[in-house]
Amino acid sequence: MGCAKDIVEHCGVPRFLFSDFPLGNSAGRPHDPDSQRLTLELALRLLETAPGPRTTMQSPLHWPADPRWKLDFSNIDQLSDEEIARRRQDFDKVKAVAKQRREEAAAG
């Protein structure tokens, strides 16, 4: 179950239930139990019925409101030079933290 269609299909998986939602909602829309139930049910149906590898099914559900969210995610065309510089600083910081955590984990 996932929301990044191109990435999962590029990798290749046996079965893929694709929800066309912003990243972070692979199991359904938040606070929407009906949507979550349908999403899992569709994943189970794929388990039962997929005829072969790389079977993708797209959930019929939509993200509420308009599809503008699709244009906004990590879209460089929408960022000012200042914002790009700020994000670079932020990313360098989290990379340093991740490196430290990784080394701590490796050291046991």
Applying CB under 8 A, the residues found at the interface with another protein are 1-8, 10-14, 18, 20-33, 36-37, 39-41, 43-44, 47-48, 50, 52-54, 63, 66-67, 69-76, 79, 84, 87-88, 90-91, 94-95, 97-98, 101-102, 105-106
Question: CB of 18 within 8 A of CB of 4?
Answer: no
Tell the smallest beta-carbon distance from residue 72 to another protein (Å).
6
Q: Which two tokens stand for residue 59?
A: 């959930």
What sign for the dihedral angle of Cα 37, 39, 68, 81?
positive
Beta carbon of residue 99, minimum distance to another protein (angstroms, whole number): 9
Instruction: Report yes or no: 14 and 53 within 8 Å, Cβ to Cβ.
Output: yes
